[in-house]
Amino acid sequence: MSKRLLGLILVLPALAVIVLLFLVPLAASVVGAFVADGRYGLANFEKAFALYTQDIIFTVVIVSFSTFIIGALSTAIAGYLTLGENPRAVAILRWLYRWPMFIPFIVVGQVLRTFLAKNGLMNNMLIGAGLITPMQASGMLDWRGIVIAFVWKQTPFVTLLLAGAMASLDRGTIEAARNLGASRLRILLEIVLPQVATTLVVGLILSFVTMMSVLSVPLMINAQSPTMITADIAFRINAYGDYGVANALGLISLGVTACVAWIYLRQTMKERA
Amino acid sequence: MNDEAFLDIAGVSAGYGRTPVLKGLDLSIRKGEFVALLGSSGCGKTTLLRAIAGFVQPSGGAISVAGRNVTNLPPDKRGMALVFQSYALWPHMTVAQNIGYGLKLQRKPRGEIAGRVDEMEALLGLSGLGARKPGELSGGQRQRVALGRALAIDPQILLLDEPLSNLDARIRLQVRHEIRSLQQRLGITAVHVTHDREEAMVMADRIVIMNAGRIAQQGTPEEVYNRPASSFVAAFMGAENRLVLTGHAEASRFGILEGSDNAGCLVPLDGRPLASGSVEARFRAEAVELLPAKSRENPSEAVLELAGRVVTVSYPGGLWRHAIKVGTAEILVDAPRAFSPGEAVKVRIPHQVLFLFNSREASPPPKPVSRSGVESRFLEVSEA
């Protein structure tokens, strides 16, 4: 038996798993998106856009906005971990910021539902503190709740990547800037961030893709219209058994994430050129 | 401690966590002086430089510049610029942006920054490279950009943290002279940290040799080379050969007693505080004369003569290097011609190049106390 054949046999189980459990279902879904009433065509997409255009825009805007806030917050936290001069504050922050990473999305949704509701914990605290009257209390269980849940859950992940990248920078580049009189904010924005920009973009893209696929948070916090594509997909399948439109919606969200990945790839290619 | 002290370091102690690195160090530097801090790794030289720069907060003592106490000022308020060992250039900025960043922080007008950057590029031979990123430059060019970035803000004091250690040996020799002549042309005060003895010798007006957080000796290159104050300094400055001898001090001379492998001789004390008893002798391989054992030629008076046997011979270039067994010790001696292994030889060490020390540098000067046993035991220990 030739060596090549042996190698092929050795890799076969892994290959089979990927093909059978991943590629075949993916291909089936993609093909399924173009099949309606036993015929090939764009009927599923027409229906999906007719019913859910608003939800698609809502999803892209919500996830983009969350991504932006996650970027700003994680830069601030990682920046403080790197440049902070109070060792105790840095230690506390370092210990604290990771916790949300270990909490599943569904639990985040549930926690925030009880926290952000009209008669939830947050409003009770604000009323108790005399900051608002019960009449002014309003729930945040709409797009704001989803953004809060996403930011709360994903910021630690991006911060973890970013703080790691910042820690491995040559400290000299920071000290040289300090030596010339740069403030900490300027060092963060002009010296540190440009050197870890690639890591930040990677972290944000991974977060973007993760948020695009979360079902539990929109279901828990905001199940009314407009909602996110994932909730629509679940609804098409569970309520109507309509796999065609569900597949079309899936392909649309895949298209959105592919755009983001393409932006990233183009940027890294440009950097290497 | 000095009227014309420009940069004055008084009793500075510093450390990391609980480990003390600097132990009450005093140093005074004149305006326009080039001082090299020389020492092996871990001696505290970089910590001292970082304390001067403001990146290490001293636990005690004071640092002042032109009479102004800067101990508690942030790094940028001290009128100093630091050149890092790794250069620490900002990879995302061009050469011109790197050099001009300090001026940008000072909110200088754009035209003035561009003019100053051009001036720096011309001064450092970087003209035409302003639009490049540091990644596209050679090591020597990066080093000059780092220097330009530090000099662009027109600092009073330039601090150099082993700036040459990342360069090829050949470029290093050239950059040494470039930095030195630049420093002289600008009249800037410079403190240079290095572990390279020769680098310190050719660049500095004054060499400060550090050991274990203290200054072991300071002086001009000739002083520390020719009149080392301690056995440590002598060894650090290349006098690696070490023998233990016995002798007695007279009015202005020191008599070395005849031993199993050496002849007796009288050398001028020349102001050295040597006490009678066991002494440590140190000398350089290239400073002595090697003769066949049967040579009849008599040595002049103030020359120490040793008898030994050649063990190995090698040729590092220029002179032949011999490892010679003298008693139980082995020494290295250079000679213009090769002696063969096993040959009996004489080694002659003129008094000018023979460094004598009473024992380890930590030993206190002998005091007229009744507990004489303490002192003699100390000498025995150092001999062992």
The beta-carbon neighbor of B88 closest among A173, A181, A194 is: A173
Q: Is A195 on the interface with B (CB under 8 A)?
A: yes
Does the pLDDT at position A247 exceed 70?
A: yes
pLDDT along chain B (384 residues), means of 10: 76 87 92 93 90 92 92 91 92 95 94 94 90 92 92 93 86 87 92 93 94 92 93 91 89 86 86 86 92 81 89 93 93 93 92 85 40 37 35
Among candidates A170, A180, A194 on the partner chain, residue whose Cβ is nearest the Cβ of B102: A180
* A97/chain B closest Cα distance in angstroms: 26
- Contacts for A185 with CB less than 8 Å, ≥ 6 apart: none
Nearest to B105 among A172, A175, A180 (CB): A180
* pLDDT at site B376: 36
List the single residue in A with minimal CA-CA distance to B84: A172
Return the residue in B101, B107, B162 with the most chain A beta carbons within 10 A, the one to mutate for interface testing. Answer: B101
What is the ipTM metric for this complex? 0.78
Check if CATH label 1.10.3720.10 holds for domain A52-111+141-272: yes
Please report the pLDDT score of residue B309 as a whole number: 94
B82:A177 CB<8 A: no
When scoring B52, B56, B82, B93 by the number of chain A Cβ atoms within 10 A, the one with the most, hence best to mutate, is B82
Interface touch B84/A176, C-beta < 8 Å: yes
Chain B residues with CB under 8 Å of A270 CB are none
CB of A181 less than 8 A from some CB of B: yes
The pLDDT of residue B373 is 38
Q: Chain B contacts of A178, Cβ < 8 Å?
A: 55, 74-76
* Contact call for A179 and B101, based on CB within 8 A: no
Chain A: closest CA distance from residue B78 (Å):
9
Chain A hits for B92, CB-CB cut-off 8 Å, are 194-195
- We find that the CATH architecture of domain B5-226 is 3-Layer(aba) Sandwich (3.40)
For chain A, domain boundaries: 52-111+141-272
In order, the DSSP letters of chain A are --HHHHHHHHHHHHHHHHIIIIIHHHHHHHHHHTEETTEESSHHHHHHHHHHHHHHHHHHHHHHHHHHHHHHHHHHHHHHHHH---HHHHHHHHHHTTGGGGS-HHHHHHHHHHHHSTTSHHHHHHHHTTSS-GGG----TTHHHHHHHHHHHHHHHHHHHHHHHHHTS-HHHHHHHHHTT--HHHIIIIIIHHHTHHHHHHHHHHHHHHHHT--HHHHHH--SSS--HHHHHHHIIIII--HHHHHHHHHHHHHHHHHHHHHHHHHHHHHH-
Strand, helix or coil at B369? coil
At A134 the pLDDT is 82
Q: Which residues contact A54 (CB under 8 A, 6 or more apart)?
A: A225, A226
For chains A and B, count residue pairs whose Cβ atoms are closer than 8 Å. Answer: 56
Segments making up each domain of chain B, as ranges = 5-226, 231-383
Indicate yes or no: CB of A178 within 8 angstroms of CB of B92. Answer: no
Task: Classify domain B231-383 by CATH number.
Answer: 2.40.50.140
CB contact under 8 A, A181 and B106: yes
**pLDDT grade for A139, boundaries at 50, 70 and 90:** confident
Instruction: Return the pLDDT at B3.
Output: 52
Q: What is the pLDDT of residue B381?
A: 36
Least CA distance to A191: which residue of chain B?
B90
Reading the block at residue B73, the tokens are: 């000022």
- Using an 8 Å CB-CB cutoff, list chain A residues near B91: 173, 195
Tens digits of per-residue pLDDT, A210-240? Answer: 999 999 999 888 867 788 999 999 999 999 9
Distances (CA, A) of A130 to A46, A114, A116, A134, A137: 51, 20, 17, 10, 12
pTM, two decimals, is 0.79
B85, B86, B102 ranked by CB distance to A181: nearest: B102
**Min Cα–Cα distance to chain A from B90, Å:** 6
